[in-house]
Structure 1
């Protein structure tokens, strides 16, 4: 029929963008997982998506108190949920730092020492990078 071509393209647009995003995230995970842990290339591979998510969040106006965009339920709830999350993160950070300085690591494991063994395999590390980047992207774009 006449005119159905544009509708078909519009209907497939979001699905196409989603597929391209998934391919991009998989490619990112495959490339980022090539380097050895705790090396500069891997640090850059980790920092690049963090910077991208922060820039996107700033562009969306999340840092402004009276942003014209609609707010999610947590922002409407006032400062209490944010304070609760800050306290939880502080508790986890304190426990992690305590375990980091305590010895032996087998009794006081940190998150990085717990994940060291599974993430030593390239496929697992590539999937972990991809999922991590996808979670960050989902957090900002929701």
Structure 2
């Protein structure tokens, strides 16, 4: 319960700044760095480490190829929409979330959930 309260407090404090300002960028970068440090400390980068991924040799290269293709498709769509105009017809993810995240409670909740998801990924 204390961890959830911590994430709620983080979200509330991180959402105080205006979007796309340096204080908010630092507030977002800090948990990213913490998750990376935690993941490396847990040994996710070493093959066969406890809590690591399953044996890829059993599945073969297909899952990796599928994920690379999916990420490439999303990246191409996002870049195409980023350079296309107008935003109302070709929205990017950031332009879609701009309106809902302009409200402080939604932005605070989104930041708290985002930080919790990163923590949950590393600690599972």
Please give the TM-score of this superposition, normalised by the length of structure 2: 0.91
CA distance in 1, matches of 2:41, 2:105: 34
Partner of 1:118: 100
Say which SS state the counterpart of residue 42 (structure 1) adopts.
Answer: helix
Deviates most, 88-97 or 100-109? 88-97
CA distance in 1, matches of 2:55, 2:47: 13
CA distance in 2, matches of 1:74, 1:88: 21
CA distance in 2, matches of 1:74, 1:47: 31
After the TM superposition, which segments of 4 or more aligned residues of structure 1 sit over 4 Å from their partners? 72-76
CA distance in 1, matches of 2:55, 2:113: 23
TM alignment of 1:1-142, pairs within 5 A:
19-67=1-49, 69-73=50-54, 77-142=59-124
Number of equivalences: 123
> Unmatched 5+ residue regions in structure 1?
1-18
Please give the TM-score of this superposition, normalised by the length of structure 1: 0.80
How far residue 94 of structure 1 moved from its aligned partner, in angstroms, is 1.2
Q: Which has the higher contact order (CA 8 A, sep 6+)?
A: 2
Larger Rg: 1
How far residue 91 of structure 1 moved from its aligned partner, in angstroms, is 1.2
Aligned CA-pair RMSD? 1.7
